[in-house]
Chains A and B, each alone.
Chain A
Amino acid sequence: MGLKILKTRLGKIELETPIIMASGTFGYGIEKIDFIDTKKIGAITTKTITLYPWKGNPQPRIYETYSGMINCIGLQNPGVFYFVKNILPEIRKKYEKIFVSITEKTEKELMQIVKIISKENVDAIELNLSCPNFEKKRKMISQDPDLTYRIIKMVKNETAIPLIAKISPNVTDIKEIAIACEKAGADILSLINTVKGLRIDFKKMKIIDGGLSGPCIKPIGLKCVYDVYKVVKIPIIGIGGIINGMDALEYLLVGASAIGIGSGLFNNSHIIDDIYFSLIKYLKENKFKNVGQVIGLLNEKD
Chain B
Amino acid sequence: MENKICKIVKNEKLGNFHYLLEFENNFNEDFYPGNFVHIKIENNFLRRPFSVCKFNKNSIIIIYKVVGEGTEKLSKKKKGEYIDVLAPCGNSFPIFKNKKIAIIGGGTGVAPLIFLAEKLKKYKNEIDFFYGAKSKEIIFFNILPVGINYIFSTEDGSFGKKGIIFDVFKNFFKDIKKNYHIIYASGPEELLKKISLFSNKIPVFISLERYMACGMGLCYGCVVKIRQNSDWIYKRVCKDGPVFNAREVIWD
Contacts and interface: CB of A to CB of B under 8 A. Distances in A.
Contacts of B216: 31, 33
Interface in A239-294: 263, 265-267, 269-270
A73 B45 contact: no
Nearest to A214: B45
Given A35-B2, A266-B46, A267-B45, A62 B221 contact: yes
B223 A59 contact: yes
B1 A33 contact: yes
B210 interface: yes
A215 B221 contact: no
B3 A263 contact: no
Interface in B193-241: 210-224, 233-234, 239
Contacts of A65: 45
Give the residue among A47, A56, A65, A269 with the most B Cβ atoms within 10 A.
A269
Contacts of A61: 220-223
Nearest to B214: A266
A269 B86 contact: yes
Nearest to B210: A59
A26 B3 contact: no
A76 interface: yes
B142 interface: no
Interface in B14-55: 40, 44-47
Given A62-B213, A76-B234, A269-B86, A67 B45 contact: yes
Interface size class of A (residues with CB under 8 A): 35 or more
A17 interface: no
A58 interface: yes
Contacts of A58: 252
B213 A34 contact: no
Contacts of B2: 34-35
Given A65-B45, A69-B45, A266-B213, A55 B233 contact: yes
B91 to A, nearest CB: 13
Contacts of B86: 269
B82 to A, nearest CB: 15
Given A34-B1, A61-B221, A55 B234 contact: yes
Nearest to A65: B45
Given A33-B1, A58-B252, A63-B211, A76 B220 contact: yes
- Size bracket of the B interface: 20 to 34
B252 A68 contact: no
A142 interface: no
A10 to B, nearest CB: 23
Contacts of B46: 62, 64, 69, 266-267
A143 interface: no
A90 to B, nearest CB: 14
Nearest to B67: A203
Given A60-B211, A269-B86, A31 B45 contact: no
A194 interface: no
Contact of A62 (B40, B84, B211): B211
A25 interface: yes
A31 B218 contact: yes
Contacts of A53: 233
A41 to B, nearest CB: 14
Contact of B213 (A26, A67, A69): A69
Residue among B45, B84, B86, B252 with max Cβ neighbours from chain A (10 Å): B45
Interface in A45-101: 47, 53, 55-56, 58-65, 67-69, 71, 73, 76
A55 B234 CA distance: 7
Nearest to A62: B221
Contacts of A215: 45
A266 B46 CA distance: 6
A197 interface: no
A71 B218 contact: no
7 contacts: A24-B219, A62-B221, A64-B46, A76-B220, A265-B214, A266-B46, A269-B86
Given A61-B222, A62-B211, 15 more contacts: A33-B216, A34-B2, A35-B1, A35-B3, A47-B220, A56-B220, A59-B252, A62-B219, A64-B70, A69-B46, A73-B219, A73-B220, A76-B223, A266-B46, A269-B86
Interface of A: 24-27, 31-35, 47, 53, 55-56, 58-65, 67-69, 71, 73, 76, 214-215, 263, 265-267, 269-270
Q: Which 6 A-B pairs have the closest CB atoms?
A: A62-B221, A269-B3, A27-B218, A62-B213, A31-B217, A64-B46
Interface of B: 1-3, 40, 44-47, 70, 84, 86, 210-224, 233-234, 239, 252
